[in-house]
Structure 1
Amino acid sequence: MTIAPVRSTDSQQLIAESTEELLAQADGVPEARRQELLDQVILLNAPVARSIASRYRRKGVDADDLEQVAYLGLVKAANGYRPEASTAFLSYAVPTIRGELKRYFRDCAWTVRPPRRVQEMQGSIAAAEPQLTQQLGHLPTDEETAEALGTDPGEVAEAASVRGCFTTLSLDAPAAPDAGTSLVETVADAEDGYELVENVHTLAPAVSDLDDRDRKILALRFCGGLTQEEIGNELGVSQMQVSRLLRGILDRLREDLTKPTG
């Protein structure tokens, strides 16, 4: 279904009256006809969904995705509204659309997921901030936002601090505005030397208990990279003997290294 913009010459009152008429017609008719009428309701009220979605922009989520979520909320509202209700359609649809957007932010938009209460507070701040900015003439402080939401300024500050959790910075981004390096170039590489030192200190006592021939076999195999056949030629023994010697040496080392201490 294509969401077409409503012409600026169409008054809100006319849209509201047309919406109520369409919803009344959709009550009690066959499903196919009912869906056609609800589609018209959705098209008429699409600007409302877009307007609500716009209040959640610049929060790290693509604007097209926000509009799609808002349209989904409008579709749910159109299908869930009952003409016999005492409230107007928009009084039912607007909270439904907002709820859908908040749910999307809570469940789908987080790269790093903070606690549930922080997620929900961040959604409330995002929805209230544009109206507060318009009323106050400046970006609201934590105290002003907290007063409008009926909560504590500390909770607002905590929720506002997680706005960056919706997106992550690309490692290809510049490390600084005037720098010629990217962030990935500033990330430290893994240092294998620490593990090597730890392994040497762990093995040294066990290897020191071996005799000269066994230490030479280990050195030829694991330091020199010789094959068992080459080691046999070096020592004047067969490849089969080298295999048995190696197995015995490794078994002794394993037993020594796994022996309980203390």
Structure 2
Amino acid sequence: MPPVSQVPPAHPPRTPSPAVRRRALHGIPEVACPQDLSIEAARFLSQALFGRLVELDEGTPEYAYVRNTLVELNLSLVKFAARRFRHRSEPAEDILQVGTIGLIKAINRFDPARGVDFSSFALPTITGEMKRFFRDTTWAVQVPRRLQELRLRLAGTRDRLGQELGRAPTTAELARCPRMTEAEVAEGERAANAYSARSLDLGEEDSGATGVARTLGAEDPSFDVIESLDSLKPLIAALTDRERAILSLRFGQELTQAEIGARVGLSQMHVSRVLAQIMERLRAGLLNDGPTA
């Protein structure tokens, strides 16, 4: 992955001509500021644009315009994913830019025919791109920028050859790639050793954990749950008493919709509609950048 400063912008510098936009949209309404749309409106328009993207030839100005519009419509997903990393030392702009790259990758890979919600499909890709950025920019030992970039180039080449060969490539095979010599491969592998610090313990138990490793803390997945709950608190507080009761019965006591209906005096279908509305409001609130979220 190239340094963030070298990553090309997500959008072209010039706006396509009106004729290109008309051909690209093919009857779909054009929106001047896609990022100003509500979550529901952006979701509805994205579905239409994904259907149009399938019909266009990749590499054409029309394809690029539709894809860039999809990026603008779904930038709230990048901002949502970036919130969990807000305490990192890396600049927020770099994290958002890397997340946008993940969003573009998700758009390129998304298949609307599968019937999967795009936000559910895109968020793991966006978050994964951010984590990869942290992994590639965090070094246990400070090394020159040239060696950092060499390690990244070597890692990318190794991944690509590994997929082509179906096994780990040899040093000689890596060196046959353009702009890579055996000396550079060896130097890049030495630089990779500085990326993660190894334990100073000489012995290891059967579990594979050294003495130092046993004293170090691991990332607790519960922190993600706590962050999500903290974000949900004001949204749940804005619900009505009946909506909170239904939510508690469904996810707290794990009752069925029919059992909930018997408790609150509603039909099973009515409970199903209420739950769907609640979940949509909570989802929109989490993705929204407004003061409530």
Identify the TM-score tier after normalising by the shorter chain.
0.3 to 0.5
The structure with higher relative contact order (CA 8 Å, sep 6+) is 2
TM-score normalised by structure 1 residue count: 0.44
Which one has the largest radius of gyration? 1
